[in-house]
Structure 1
């Protein structure tokens, strides 16, 4: 196993990190429905100016052939090769309150060594809590509030914010491993899974970043200015609604999703005592491919001028 010094390097002249800060993790990788994690990382980096305090070594963790660095070719020479970043940073929220942000790519290699390095950093900086988020596609409509599934050790947050509580097996991400290891170490831990409409999973859906940031505020006490995110989401949803309103097939399919969602949220059960949302009939519920294909057919039928006016969010 790689040594700690092979995995991460502390940044020289980094800002002083106060003790007892919340640690937040945003790691892109296996699943990121609606661009939830990527959009939230972008928000953090553009709006809050993170100051790196530790940088993880790509040569130990990154599969370059799977996620190739980006080069800049300037007329007749290569001026830059920019690789993905994975780093721990000190960040200040809209009120100037500090917190720690672990952001970047999900490691391709050495997961346990990476988890040990994060645990060592958490100990070194005496963090107060650990929160992370990712997003998955679900058969839910965009016309209803986005919800989350919550895991971890903070029961009050699970009660307040977990709308779906399955018992299942699924492929793990590095966030799940960090949650498990830091929970074993006794840290207060919270994991959020944003449940994103499956037909919007491949888009950059601003509501997902808004949801993640809202949940981070609930767990950390930090404050984020969401005005720009809300504005972007309002424009996105208006375009989606316009498309659906003009297509009967899309409207019918979204209506099915709305009925399932409303029944589940109302706590209704079928005759077998199963969750309504957990007993979906393939003949009744459209697939993500069907919805996406229907949206694509609709967009292809629209005049070219509509696209120039921003008629499509895709």
Structure 2
């Protein structure tokens, strides 16, 4: 029996350094894929934000309007993705999401996975932070975050209300290195999908591209003399990882972590502000 999972990523605010939408592009390029459905504009876009594009094809000029594209991606005889990729709509999000889920129902989808990427204070020299929430589970990120959300969050919520099983995946990418595609983020999301599905996904040349991304980030940090800033981020990252590891070890271990954090902050120029 074939299982079809909907995988959705959106360009724009939810797609720092294209780490999320490049997951869809990568899967389309590595597996047998067919373009199967679309959601055309129908008033979902502000053309001053998501502008139409003009191309010359065999000597003929063609205008491409913003739209949503769905691909049927055959991962194996037992597993397909219904992959959705689109610019984030500007208007009528609820209607857009319900239209999306009607298409999902046409393909017998019962599980929806939304993916996104965001800028954060994280070092490129460590594994990029990955936040995953499944169904109605309130992870620690959900509890502490208050602020704007994007279309992946709305689609996830409406899908859950509609009876779909849902998973949300977000990778954080360094905000100081924001002018190139973050292939490390794409690789982290592919890894997470493989674990979620218990199905190894074809990584192709992502590991090589991720290594090149890290090398370019190293060169940028060296040229801009931001080593102290990166070391600060590394220390904060390592403290966070250590905190997660010792949370279950009781008060003495936690007190030791607090003392280490306080000692580190006292050495920083911004201490006491």
TM-score by length of 1: 0.71
Large movers: runs of 4+ above 4 Å: 162-166, 268-271, 280-285
Distance 1:69 1:246 in 2: 37
Aligned to 1:104: 86
1:243-279 deviation per Cα after TM superposition (whole angstroms, max 9, x unaligned) = 43566x32211111111110111008689x8xx7xxx
1:148 aligns with 2:148: no
1:23 aligns with 2:6: yes
1:87-138 deviation per Cα after TM superposition (whole angstroms, max 9, x unaligned) = 2221112788422111122222221111111222233322131111111111
1:55 aligns with 2:35: no
In the TM superposition, what are the counterparts of 1:72-87 in structure 2 within 5 Å? Answer: 72-73=55-56, 79-87=61-69
* Shift, 1:166, TM fit: 4.7
Aligned to 2:100: 118
1:183 pairs with 157, 160, 170, which one?
Answer: 160
Going from structure 1 to structure 2, the CA distance change for 1:84 and 1:224 (only over 3 Å counts) comes to farther
* Shift, 1:206, TM fit: 0.8
Contact 2:177 2:217 in 1 (8 A): no
Point out the more displaced range, 184-193 or 63-72: 63-72
* Shift, 1:186, TM fit: 2.5
Aligned to 1:301: none
- Report the secondary structure of 1:79's partner residue: strand
Distance 1:74 1:42 in 2: 22
1:254 aligns with 2:230: yes
1:216 aligns with 2:198: no
1:35 aligns with 2:26: no
* Unaligned residue ranges in structure 1 (runs of 5+): 1-17, 286-314
Contact 2:37 2:70 in 1 (8 A): yes
In the TM superposition, what are the counterparts of 1:141-290 in structure 2 within 5 Å? Answer: 141-153=123-135, 166-245=143-222, 249-267=225-243, 283-284=269-270
* Unaligned residue ranges in structure 2 (runs of 5+): 247-253
In the TM superposition, what are the counterparts of 1:296-307 in structure 2 within 5 Å? Answer: none
Contact 2:11 2:18 in 1 (8 A): no
- Report the secondary structure of 2:43's partner residue: helix
Distance 1:125 1:266 in 2: 44
Q: State the number of aligned residues.
A: 256
Structure richer in strand, relative to its length: 2
Contact 1:33 1:202 in 2 (8 A): no
Distance 2:163 2:240 in 1: 34
Point out the more displaced range, 134-143 or 29-38: 29-38
Contact 2:8 2:115 in 1 (8 A): yes
User: How large is the RMSD of aligned CA atoms in angstroms?
Assistant: 3.2
Aligned to 1:289: none
- Report the secondary structure of 1:200's partner residue: coil
